[in-house]
């Protein structure tokens, strides 16, 4: 680290900076065996509640002793072999355990016991899985287009780049002390498609496809990426990413990620955790200075951005059956209600991917998954598989686009329960309304916005409301989120709606703004 980084660890810093300075989060990697024999109750609390997150292991105060594990899944892709390992890990905990597909194309496992960690990490290593640096002040799962390499209209296949960025940041999944003490979390997304499948605008650093006019003798247009910086959601502030006025060819993407991360690591603000995300540094310096510092770290001049990017489609959700660019092959998107999986589902998903496809499974940021590479000749039989009754390719319009964060069942930040409530509410609304198109409803249990209510048609953020003089579960309602081309964040339109009144309020919104109708009485 540079001098600037070391001078930031002064005694006036917040408690997170202090414990990071005392002992790096990654140090717990060498202590997993020790923790396993000690047990969670005897462990040092800072190691247990905070530093273990550097290994992707999250203490859950709501279910003490039953940890959550957050994987890394570059570009949202995993193999059936990896999926089976994840299923085996949670299977041993019976009804206590489940898994969730996350809003960053990733999987989290629940119910994990500390004594099993050495064995779990061995299993992960054997199939090339890693959970390293997936929580706390680290770079989160790097998202990419779930159709990379499949979509006839894509401009660039991002898979290799995403893997290279992850390898650079995590030292091939082993853990990298170079990037284990950032001022705060950091999100990276890269897309080579036309529909902004990754929500580029809500990432600290995003790469979107753009052609640059050739210069001098090179008159041909060159493919690369326009760079966006500073997008983030937090309880206090939410901002869409802004253009850095930089364009990079694919071969420079990894180096630019490194440069931006180094600037953030060494110069990012560390005093107040509410003001430590990248955008706060950009604000403090101004974009010009930030760009100049990145350029210095990058070691060569940044090329100015292409005049426009190639994000010119509405966002797709990938649910259903679609032709791939490879003749005779199809990808099928299955809908997973609020992303919740159980061990038996995961074994089945792995089996279907192996028997009908190429063994690959791809997660989406809508908490669903895609099985690619199913030949025409196998498609019909695939569609008769039992699992498609649970994870359908033809969900009802509100169910189809429902997204929900973890909520009170497992998350101690939650102000309300989300996943089960979201499903029950959508079912009730679908029973009483006729809808002709999907409406994207996102639930999030608190202002941290993990469920991204600001990108939704209707976003619901957990809060405490008042009804008849009593505090009750409630939501703030967001509207106007636009995804895909010309993405825009939604804003809060109504505060403090009690959950018990919400069905009625949503019914009215769906009728007024989204063309929903109450069934007409039959005429005689």
Residues that bind ligand SF4 (CB under 6 A): 405-407, 411, 413-414, 444-446, 448-451
Active site residue 450: yes
* Residue 407 contact, options ligand SF4, ligand SRM, none, Cβ 5-8 Å cut-off depending on partner type: ligand SF4
Residue in the structure block whose two tokens are 């902004």: 196
Query: Is residue 342 at the binding interface for ligand SRM, with CB under 6 A as the rule?
Result: no
From 156, 179, 232, 331, residue interacting with ligand SRM (rule: CB under 6 A)? 232
427 in active site: no
Catalytic-residue membership of 445: yes
Q: For residue 466, indicate whether it is catalytic.
A: no
The residue (of 298 and 410) whose beta carbon lies closer to ligand SF4 is: 410
Q: Cα separation of 299 and 334, whole Å?
A: 44
- Cα-flanking dihedrals φ and ψ of residue 463, to 5°? -155, 175
Residue pair 354/80 in contact (Cβ under 8 Å)? The answer is: yes
Q: φ and ψ at 122, to 5 degrees?
A: -60, -45
Element of type H or E holding 346: helix 343-356
The encoded tokens of residue 439 equal 């409406």
Is 490 tagged catalytic? Answer: no
C-alpha span between 519 and 524 (Å, rounded): 15
By a kind-dependent CB cut-off of 5 to 8 A, residue 414 interacts, out of ligand SF4, ligand SRM, none, with: ligand SF4
Binding mask 133-172 toward ligand SRM (x if CB under 6 A, else -) reads -xx----xx-------------------------------
CB of 235 to ligand SRM, least distance (A): 6
Of residues 135, 192, 451, 459, which has the active-site annotation? 451
User: Which residue pairs, CB below 8 angstroms and at least 24 apart, start in 3-10?
Assistant: 4/266, 4/267, 5/181, 5/265, 5/266, 8/183, 8/270, 9/270
Nearer to ligand SF4, 250 or 445 (CB): 445
Dihedrals φ, ψ of 441, to 5°? -110, 120
Nearer to ligand SRM, 109 or 302 (CB): 109
Q: Quick one: which of 322, 448, 472, 501 contacts ligand SRM (CB under 6 A)? A: 448
CB 285 within 8 A of CB 244: no
- Residue 224 appears among annotated catalytic residues: no
Tell me which of ligand SF4, ligand SRM, none is bound by residue 399, counting a contact when its beta carbon lies within the kind-specific cut-off of 5 to 8 angstroms.
Answer: none
Q: Is 452 in the site for ligand SRM (CB under 6 A)?
A: yes
83 DSSP 8-state letter: H
**Residue 452 near which of ligand SF4, ligand SRM, none (CB within 5-8 Å, type-dependent):** ligand SRM
Give long-range contacts, CB 8 A cutoff, 24+ apart: 476-479.
477/505, 477/509, 478/453, 478/454, 479/509, 479/513
Q: Catalytic residue numbers?
A: 70, 184-185, 445, 450-451
Residues making contact with ligand SRM (CB under 6 A):
58, 60, 68, 70, 100, 102-104, 106, 108, 134-135, 140-141, 184-185, 187, 202, 232-235, 277, 405-406, 410-413, 448-450, 452
């Amino acid at each position: 680290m540079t001098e600037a980084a070391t001078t930031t660890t002064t005694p006036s810093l917040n408690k997170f900076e202090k414990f990071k300075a005392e002992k790096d989060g990654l140090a717990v990697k060498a202590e997993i065996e020790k923790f396993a024999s000690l047990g969670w109750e005897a462990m040092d609390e800072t190691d247990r509640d905070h530093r273990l997150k550097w290994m992707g292991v999250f203490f859950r105060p709501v279910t003490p002793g039953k940890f959550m594990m957050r994987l890394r899944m570059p570009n949202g892709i995993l193999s059936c072999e990896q999926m089976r390992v994840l299923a085996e890990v949670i299977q041993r905990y019976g009804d206590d355990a489940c898994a969730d597909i996350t809003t960053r194309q990733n999987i989290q496992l629940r119910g994990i016991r500390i004594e099993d960690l050495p064995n779990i990490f061995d299993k992960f290593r054997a199939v090339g899985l890693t959970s390293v640096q997936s929580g706390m002040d680290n770079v989160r799962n790097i998202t990419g287009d779930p159709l990379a390499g499949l979509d006839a209209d894509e401009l660039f296949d991002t898979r290799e780049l995403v893997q290279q960025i992850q390898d650079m940041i995590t030292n091939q999944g082993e853990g990298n002390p170079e990037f284990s003490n950032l001022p705060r979390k950091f999100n990276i997304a890269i897309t080579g498609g036309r529909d902004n499948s990754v929500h580029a605008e809500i990432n600290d650093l995003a790469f979107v496809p753009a052609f640059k006019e050739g210069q001098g003798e090179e008159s041909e247009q060159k493919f690369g990426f326009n760079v966006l910086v500073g997008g983030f959601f937090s309880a206090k502030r939410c901002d869409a990413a802004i253009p850095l006025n930089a364009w990079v060819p694919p071969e420079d993407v990894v180096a630019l990620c490194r440069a931006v991360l180094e600037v953030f690591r060494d110069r990012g603000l560390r005093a107040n955790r509410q003001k430590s995300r990248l955008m706060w540094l950009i604000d403090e310096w101004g974009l010009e200075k930030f760009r100049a510092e990145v350029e210095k770290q990058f070691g060569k001049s940044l090329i100015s951005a292409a005049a426009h990017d190639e994000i010119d489609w509405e966002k797709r959700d990938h649910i259903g059956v679609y032709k791939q660019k490879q003749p005779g092959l199809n990808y099928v998107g299955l809908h997973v209600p609020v992303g919740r999986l159980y061990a038996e589902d995961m074994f089945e998903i792995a089996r279907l991917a192996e028997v009908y496809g190429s063994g690959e499974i791809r997660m989406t940021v809508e908490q669903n998954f895609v099985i690619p590479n199913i030949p025409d000749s196998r498609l019909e039989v695939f569609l008769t598989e039992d699992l498609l009754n649970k994870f359908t390719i033809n969900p009802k319009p509100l169910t189809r686009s429902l997204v929900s964060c973890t909520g009170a069942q497992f998350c101690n930040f939650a102000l309300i329960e989300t996943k089960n409530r979201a499903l029950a509410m959508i079912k009730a609304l679908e029973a009483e309304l006729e809808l002709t198109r999907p409406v994207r409803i996102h639930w999030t249990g608190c202002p941290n916005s993990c469920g991204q209510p600001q990108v939704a048609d209707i976003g619901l953020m957990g809060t405490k409301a008042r009804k008849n003089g009593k505090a009750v579960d409630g939501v703030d309602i967001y509207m106007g989120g636009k995804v895909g081309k010309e993405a825009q964040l939604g804003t809060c339109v109504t505060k403090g709606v009690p959950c018990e009144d919400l069905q009625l309020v949503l019914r009215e919104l769906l009728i007024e703004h989204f063309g929903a109708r109450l069934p007409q009485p039959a005429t005689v």
